[in-house]
Amino acid sequence: MFGYFERLVDPYTPYQETDTPPARLMPFLWDYTHPFHRVFVVTAVLSTMVAFIEVALIGYLGRLVDLLDKSPDVFWADHGVELIAMAVFFLTLRPLIQTAHTALLNQTINPNLTALARWRAHRQVMRQSVGWFENDFAGRIANRVMQTPNAVASVMNQFFEAVAFAAAYLIGAFVLLADADLRLVLPLLAWFIPYLFLLRWVIRRIQPASEASSDARSVVTGRIVDGYTNVHSVKMFAHADAELAYAKDAIEGSRTTLMREMRLYTIMDLALVFLNGVLVVGVVGWALSLWLNGLATVGVVTAAAALVLRLNGMSGWIMWAVSQLFQELGVVSEGLQTIGQPVTLTDATTAVPLRVTAGRIDLQGLSHHYGKAKGGLDRIDLTIPAGQRVGLVGASGAGKSTLVKLLLRFYDAETGQIRIDGQDVSAVTQDSLRQAIGMVQQDSALLHRSVRENILYGAPHATEAAMIAAARKAQAHDFIGALEDTEGRRGYDARVGERGVKLSGGQRQRIALARVILKDAPILMLDEATSALDSEVEAAIQDTLETMMEGKTVIAIAHRLSTIARMDRIVVMEDGRIVEDGSHDDLLALNGRYARFWARQSGGFLGDDA
């Protein structure tokens, strides 16, 4: 039975991705819940049936009380079949309706809607550009991706379990009391109208209060995760107290917003206690008055009393459920600030896969200032013939890393073009562009997975032998064999920790090199690729780097000029412009900027103040 309900909706059903997801609440909910719409209709019908059955049973209780004034023999003779039918209904049909209703909520909607919303939200966020991620806390993004789907599922659950049920129950209550005596509806209305005003007052305030609380929680998560992610820096600079103060400030902000939200619930509860007193005294008192005057039976008084006592208990639950619904809507609204953002760095509608036939790179009038007046690149013209090895030299901030990011299309250039074998990189698919480029960065952060998974990230379908061969070329195989994690996994199966923190910088760099060696892309970019290696390991790996570069177009950034000097050509950058271009010997003979770098370098490195 469980399996049937759990398979009614596939949370991973194909859907049309969009670069402009719904940024408003109701269109977002409609879009994300689309596969569940038919299930919602059935659930709403069953919620209504469950409520009507419960009201009908209270009404039948009143009838039963009135029938009990007969003698047992006459009572059974006249109503035995009726009682047996009610017993059968209680034991069969009512449990079936209730079970179907509960199973749709618990087995179909809750787990599958949460999974669907989380899957689609994660996919949407993963389509964003590197620059988009650089402008936010990873912790806050993750928090919104995690809590928004839970809130979506909770909204639908509260709607069917509380709102639909409560609406049907109240309609049934009016019908039941009106059928017993129309005058009994008057005290119910005297309670219901102020109750609606109270509900409206709570709803108008709870959603913005909840959204503020949710945003404050996301800030707390972002700050705490930021501290955990950079714990080495925190400890190294002895700034634990500063980090605690930074987090405490956010926690206090979260506490303040939550207190404001909780005040609404307290006011709601106090008002509800008074209104429920009016309900019980009004309806039961009126029913007793009718009975005293011979205008109502004992059964009517019993049914009215049972009904309002049930409403007395339900009214708080209904108010809480509705306020929870709007509280969760506030969480969803806050999550939309991340999930609902449009994807701005997209493939063109006519984009085709990049075809690298030789590896020639052309930069024409390339400028990018990150939306600022200066910084980045300024009108770069550069041609790199296929198979040429080019070294980029310049002090920090000269524009070297920006050039690499634009080549990978982590950003779209503000002006100018980048062409690879004559193909504009903005006109090809991003995945095919990056598959054609092997990149080793200065900060080679690894995934919190096994060594094997990290190396195979370069070529997921490579054989075990090819993976090990790549590790050997990167001078990594020997130390990998000696690895063991806290759960006893060894060698290539050992986990490396978040961002590879369980390994030394040199070990991380060699695994990153192995990954790129395995990828074997036709264009190779090295951004301080050997910066984390000691001299002995670097010397051992130079031959590997030479082998890696054979037949490839190479762009290498390094402050260690002894590495750059081996390149076919050296491009010197300053303030986002190319100021010198030539071979090592030509640039030394020019006696310009590069020659001064070479003369002033200390220990083989280029200082930022050179």
Long-range contacts of 346-353 (CB under 8 A, 24+ apart): 346/19, 347/429, 347/430, 348/426, 348/427, 350/427, 351/427, 351/428, 351/429, 352/427, 352/428, 352/429, 353/428, 353/429, 353/432
Please say whether the beta carbons of 124 and 337 come within 8 A: no
Please say whether the beta carbons of 11 and 112 come within 8 A: yes
> Distances from the Cα of 197 to the Cαs of 193, 268, 288, 372, in angstroms?
7, 11, 28, 51
Q: Residue 226: which H helix or E strand, with range? A: helix 185-229
The answer to whether residue 131 is domain-embedded is yes
Report the SS3 class of residue 533.
coil
The answer to whether residue 481 is domain-embedded is yes
Quick one: tokens of 409? 């299309």
The answer to whether residue 375 is domain-embedded is no
- On whether both 197 and 331 belong to a single domain, the answer is yes
- On whether both 45 and 161 belong to a single domain, the answer is yes
Please say whether the beta carbons of 526 and 555 come within 8 A: yes
- On whether both 332 and 454 belong to a single domain, the answer is no
Side-chain-side CA neighbours of residue 564 (13 Å) = 31
> Nearest CA to 516 among 506, 507, 526?
526
Please say whether the beta carbons of 304 and 71 come within 8 A: no
Please say whether the beta carbons of 479 and 494 come within 8 A: no
Q: Domain boundary at 307, 339, 371, which? A: 339
Residue spans of the chain under pLDDT 50: 602-605, 607-610
pLDDT of amino acid 539 = 66
pLDDT of amino acid 603 = 43
Report the SS3 class of residue 588.
helix
- On whether both 156 and 292 belong to a single domain, the answer is yes
The answer to whether residue 315 is domain-embedded is yes
The answer to whether residue 327 is domain-embedded is yes
- On whether both 20 and 151 belong to a single domain, the answer is yes
Please say whether the beta carbons of 428 and 595 come within 8 A: no
185-229 vs 240-292: helix axis angle to the nearest 10? 170
Distance CA 5, CA 7 (A): 5
pLDDT of amino acid 532 = 53
The answer to whether residue 353 is domain-embedded is no
- On whether both 329 and 478 belong to a single domain, the answer is no
- On whether both 330 and 475 belong to a single domain, the answer is no
Per the structure, the complete domain to which residue 20 belongs is given by 2-339
CATH at 117: 1.20.1560.10
Q: Domain boundary at 520, 554, 573, which? A: 520
- On whether both 335 and 459 belong to a single domain, the answer is no
Q: Which residue carries 């090295």 as its tokens?
A: 526
Residue 398: Cβ-neighbour burial (10 angstroms; 0-12, 13-18, 19+): buried
Distance CA 233, CA 229 (A): 9
Report the SS3 class of residue 168.
helix
pLDDT of amino acid 492 = 92
Residue 258: Cβ-neighbour burial (10 angstroms; 0-12, 13-18, 19+): middle
Q: Which distant-in-sequence residues (6+ apart) come within 8 Å of 55 by Cβ?
A: 169, 172, 173, 175, 176, 307
The answer to whether residue 372 is domain-embedded is no
Please say whether the beta carbons of 326 and 203 come within 8 A: yes
pLDDT of amino acid 227 = 84
> What b/e sequence results for 19-40 when a residue is b if at least 16 CB atoms lie within 10 Å of its CB, and e otherwise?
eebbeebeebbeebbebbeebb
DSSP state of 379: E
Strands (E), 385-422: 389-393, 415-420
Sign of CA dihedral 29, 32, 35, 36: negative
Please say whether the beta carbons of 143 and 338 come within 8 A: no
Distance CA 347, CA 118 (A): 24
pLDDT of amino acid 536 = 60
Distance CA 443, CA 505 (A): 9
- On whether both 465 and 332 belong to a single domain, the answer is no
Domains in the chain, number: 2
pLDDT of amino acid 604 = 47
Please say whether the beta carbons of 106 and 160 come within 8 A: no
Q: For the chain, how far is it from start to end, CA to CA, in angstroms?
A: 74
Distance CA 257, CA 260 (A): 5
- On whether both 151 and 293 belong to a single domain, the answer is yes
Distance CA 49, CA 58 (A): 14
CATH at 492: 3.40.50.300
pLDDT of amino acid 107 = 92
Distance CA 603, CA 559 (A): 11
The answer to whether residue 487 is domain-embedded is yes
> Nearest CA to 500 among 143, 234, 229?
229
pLDDT of amino acid 598 = 85
Strands (E), 75-135: none
Quick one: tokens of 244? 């605690």
Q: Which distant-in-sequence residues (6+ apart) come within 8 Å of 45 by Cβ?
A: none
Quote the longest CA-to-CA distance of the chain: 123
Quick one: tokens of 580? 């010198």
Residue 553, φ and ψ in degrees, nearest 5 = -85, 125
Q: Is 435 left (phi over 0), alpha (psi -120 to 50) or beta?
A: alpha
pTM of this structure:
0.76
Q: Domain boundary at 305, 339, 373, which? A: 339
